Amino acid sequence: MASQKRLIKELAAYKKDPNPCLASLTADGDSLYKWTAVMRGTEGTAYENGLWQVEINIPENYPLQPPTMFFRTKICHPNIHFETGEVCIDVLKTQWSPAWTISSACTAVSAMLSLPEPDSPLNIDAANLVRCGDESAMEGLVRYYVNKYASGN
């Protein structure tokens, strides 16, 4: 299948030139359609020093259809469902293009951590803090969850 060839090329490209926002990116077991990323928190943000495991499910008609991503490490963010880890970002929905790769989609998700979109939230409580402009409360909440779940302790 063309999607398998593409995914093999993407893995090879990542190994040759790793994405700085990722600590790792691997295909799981025998399936090229399920990957795991370990995403790094962006320096200078409340997510700094965090590491999150992200499950990436790739459809068989990839790259025509986008992957789905789920944070398996708990994270507090307006566009990530607290319980399921589902990610809501346009790149993985209506703005998807075959020009995107799994690695570049991970970069978009990483950038989203610093630039939440509170008008399409999956975590209403976090979105309300952003909407109200309560940056210190949001930052404190994020740092709490980074320390509790994503610090590797």
Q: For the chain, what percent of residues have pLDDT higher than 70?
A: 99
Report the CATH number that the domain containing residue 70 is assigned in CATH: 3.10.110.10
**Would you say 74 and 142 are in contact if contact means Cβ atoms under 8 Å apart?**
no
Number of domains in the chain: 1
| Phi, psi values for residue 100, rounded to 5° | -70, 150
**Amino acid in position 98:** P
d(CA 6, CA 106): 17
Q: Which residues, 6 or more positions from 11, have their beta carbon under 8 angstroms from its beta carbon? A: 25, 26, 27
Q: Give the domain range for residue 7.
A: 2-150
pLDDT at position 1, please? 74
pLDDT tens digit string along 61-88? Answer: 999 999 999 999 999 999 999 999 999 9
Per-residue pLDDT of the chain in tens (153 residues, 90 and over written 9):
789 999 999 999 999 999 999 999 999 888 899 999 999 999 999 999 999 999 999 999 999 999 999 999 999 999 999 999 999 999 999 999 999 999 999 999 999 999 999 888 999 999 999 999 999 999 999 999 999 999 865
d(CA 42, CA 50): 8
pLDDT at position 29, please? 81
Core vs surface per residue 72-109: b (16+ CB within 10 A) or e: ebebbbbbbbbeebebbbebbeeebeeebbbbebbbbb
Report the Cα 62 to chain-centroid distance in Å.
18
Catalytic residue annotation: 88
* pTM of the model as a whole: 0.93
